[in-house]
Amino acid sequence: MGVRVRQADQRDRDQVVRILDEAFHDDPVSSWVFPDEEHRRAVHGKFLGVFADITLEGGRIDLLEDGTATALWLSVPAGVPEEDDTPALMRETADPGNERAELVGRLTGAVHPHDRAHEYLLMIGVSPERQGEGIGEALMRGVLERCDREGTPAYLEASSARSRSLYERLGFTFTGRTVDLPHGPSMWPMWREPQAG
């Protein structure tokens, strides 16, 4: 599938957040963090804006030129990371009274591998009306091809069985240990070794 992708910058922040907000509104993890739909509608964009800001500052955001999909990537070095205040910032920014807004980040951070440098797909979102068309796969292909050329692994957490299937088609494999949200859904950490030729 031929898609036109460009790298987003600060001017695209609101568009990136809008895409993520629409794409993840009914996602199992977002629904667990913000169970009340009306409340989710009010604060979900603020929550996702933290991811956009972190990636704009230190990573790469790919944006489909027609504004229907975006992918947020971070390059993670090898070695034990410093204390990460991102989960607390997620809660403070979006919903200070909601411990789930912080807990989801703490739980995923606890299983994130740090023994090898890798590209981390923090989030990928496709507008609901375009989901199922192969756009997400096409959007990821550029970074994954670079990973293959450079011999760099990639990592992500799948938040649904549907997304897990997509990632498996792209060469990701489940690491064997789910992130189980208390009284909520599971997430699947997935690792991809660089692919030859």
pLDDT in tens, 81-119: 787 899 999 999 999 999 999 999 999 999 999 999 999
174: β partners? 190
How far apart CA 156 and CA 76 sit, in angstroms, is 12
Report the DSSP beta bridge partners of residue 63: 6, 70
pLDDT band at residue 197 using 50, 70 and 90 as cut-offs: low
Neighbouring CB atoms inside 10 A of 191's CB total 18
Radius of gyration of the chain (CA): 16
Residue 55 contacts residue 73 (beta carbons within 8 Å): yes
Q: What is the pLDDT of residue 1?
A: 53
131 vs 148: CA distance, rounded Å: 26
pLDDT at residue number 2? 62
**What pLDDT band is residue 148 in, cutting at 50, 70 and 90?**
very high
- Dist. CA 171–CA 54, nearest whole Å: 26
Mean pLDDT of 8-30: 96
pLDDT value at position 84?
82
What is the average pLDDT across 10-16? 97
With contact defined as beta carbons under 8 Å apart, do 189 and 121 qualify?
Answer: no
What is d(CA 84, CA 20) in angstroms, rounded to the nearest whole number?
A: 22
State the Cα–Cα distance between residues 197 and 192, nearest whole angstrom.
15
Question: Does the pLDDT at position 12 exceed 60?
Answer: yes
Name the token pair of 162: 């549907």
What is the torsion angle, in degrees rounded to the nearest 10, for the CA atoms of residue 105, residue 118, residue 25 and residue 97? 10
Q: How far apart are CA 78 and CA 138, in angstroms?
A: 28
| Average pLDDT of the residues of the chain | 94
Lookup result for tokens 């991811």: 51
Confidence of residue 161 (pLDDT cuts 50, 70, 90): confident
Residue 3 has a pLDDT of 75
* Exposure of 129 in the CB half-sphere (CA atoms within 13 A): 4
Model confidence at 186: pLDDT above 60: yes
For 29-60, b where at least 16 C-beta lie within 10 A, e where not — what string?
A: bbbbbbeeeeebeebbbebbbbbbbbbbeebb
**C-alpha to C-alpha distance for 17 and 5, rounded to whole angstroms:** 17
pLDDT reading at 162 higher than 90: no
pLDDT category, 61, cuts 50, 70, 90? very high
pTM for the structure as a whole: 0.94
Q: What is the mean pLDDT of residues 162-189?
A: 95
